[in-house]
């Protein structure tokens, strides 16, 4: 997630069609108005929006702050309330500015007895400064990080709530990466190693020895208006079959305006480090080569007012459906 440029995202027409319920399954209209049966439960965008707000209300989740600690306690409690087996992976960490912290990756396992598993991840920390803000006087100030962090976590919380009601064939592990967004601007180190500290640590020290899920899906900035998710080079290199699976499902169930069949360049995000651990992992992130990251990236305007429930719905329903289509190994 660390290509250091910010351009204005062009205004694009969103195609969003609301799913409606049937008894066990629901039906949704695709872009061609064909009816598609969904195996997954209905993802509630209002619920995800509320989870986004709950995180923002604690204040910026900057490592080693009270807001960070309070958010940690909230997230652990919520995943437990949904039936998750929750652990917190802790380790000392140092950021590029010489400060020391204690990183805390949150891991929530659902149906831990199942051997076939899928990993869903996002970072839960907030960047300490809005260094891309157009107002130079604001660049040293923290920001809400409603999209860049909270949105991905909120989608995961709502997914976990749905898994409590209905279980897929596979187990699901949610991992919330810490100290992802505390990197050095214009980092020129190999693989931009001042970023993604939590996932870097986990890749070398997995929470379970020999942990090998079928694949991983990392969520980053998945709540902005007019979002478009392109297929980045790292995802295509390490997990092309997972890219195809997720984008095909997103297009099939009516979200082709979001999951666009456009490629983009090298993007070092948490998924890079998951792939280094030998787990094929993709990134669902609001980014394109033409426009850069979403328009409020690392600015004071990354706040709750700029979160779009339609985007949360598109991502959450697509990822849920992907999980529920997994069949047990024969």
Q: How far apart are the first and last CA of the chain?
A: 37
Q: Of the ranges 22-31, 69-78, 141-150, 212-221, which one carries the lowest mean pLDDT score?
A: 22-31
What pLDDT band is residue 2 in, cutting at 50, 70 and 90?
low
DSSP code of 84? -
Residue 182 clears pLDDT 70, i.e. is over it = yes
- Determine phi and psi for 213, rounding to 5 degrees: -70, 170
- Cα 224 to the chain's mean position, in Å? 12
pLDDT above 90 coverage of the chain, percent:
87
Residue 23 clears pLDDT 50, i.e. is over it = no
pTM above 0.95, yes or no: no
Residue 127 clears pLDDT 70, i.e. is over it = yes
Fold of 21-324: Aminopeptidase (3.40.630)
Residue 14 clears pLDDT 50, i.e. is over it = no
Mark 36-73 as b/e (b = at least 16 C-beta within 10 Å).
bebbbbbbbbebbbebbebbbebbbbbbebebbeebbe
- Evaluate whether 71 touches 79 at the Cβ level (below 8 Å): no
What pLDDT band is residue 36 in, cutting at 50, 70 and 90?
confident
Give the DSSP letter string of 280-316: -EEEEEBEETTTEE-TTTTSTT-SGGGB-HHHHHHHH
Q: Taking residues 127-153, what's their average pLDDT?
A: 98
Residue 18 clears pLDDT 70, i.e. is over it = no
Distance (Å) of CA 23 to CA 64, 144, 249, 313, 326: 47, 39, 22, 20, 21
Residue 27 clears pLDDT 60, i.e. is over it = no
Domain limits, the chain: 21-324
Q: Of the ranges 3-7, 106-110, 205-209, which one carries the lowest mean pLDDT score?
A: 3-7
């Amino acid at each position: 997630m660390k290509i250091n440029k910010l351009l204005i995202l062009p205004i694009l027409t969103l195609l969003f069609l609301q799913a409606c319920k049937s008894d066990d399954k629901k039906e949704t209209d695709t872009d061609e108005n064909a009816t598609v049966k969904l195996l997954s439960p209905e993802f509630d965008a209002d619920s995800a929006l509320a989870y986004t707000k709950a995180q923002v209300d604690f204040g910026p989740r900057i490592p080693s702050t009270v807001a960070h600690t309070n958010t940690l306690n909230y997230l652990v409690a919520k995943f437990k309330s949904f039936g998750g087996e929750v652990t917190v992976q802790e380790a000392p960490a140092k950021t590029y500015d010489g400060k020391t912290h204690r990183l805390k990756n949150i891991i929530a396992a659902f149906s831990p007895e199942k051997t076939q598993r899928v990993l869903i991840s996002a970072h839960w920390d907030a960047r300490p400064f809005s260094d891309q803000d157009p107002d130079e006087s604001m660049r040293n100030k923290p920001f809400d990080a409603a999209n860049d962090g909270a949105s991905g976590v909120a989608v995961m919380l709502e997914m976990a709530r749905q898994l409590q009601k209905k279980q897929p064939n596979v187990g699901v592990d949610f991992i919330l990466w810490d100290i992802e967004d505390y990197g050095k601007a214009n980092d020129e180190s190999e693989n931009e190693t001042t970023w993604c500290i939590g996932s870097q640590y986990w890749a070398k020290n997995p929470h379970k020895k020999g942990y090998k899920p079928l694949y991983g899906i990392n969520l980053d900035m998945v709540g902005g208006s007019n979002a478009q998710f392109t297929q980045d080079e790292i995802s295509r290199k390490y997990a092309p079959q997972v890219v195809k699976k997720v984008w095909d499902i997103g297009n099939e169930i009516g979200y082709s305006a979001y999951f666009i069949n456009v490629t983009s360049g090298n993007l070092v995000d948490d998924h890079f480090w998951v792939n280094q651990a030998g787990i094929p992992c993709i990134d669902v992130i609001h980014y394109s080569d033409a426009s850069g990251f979403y328009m409020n990236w690392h600015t004071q305007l990354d706040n709750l007012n700029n979160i779009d429930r339609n985007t949360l719905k598109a991502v959450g329903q697509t990822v849920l459906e992907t999980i529920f289509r997994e069949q047990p190994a024969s």
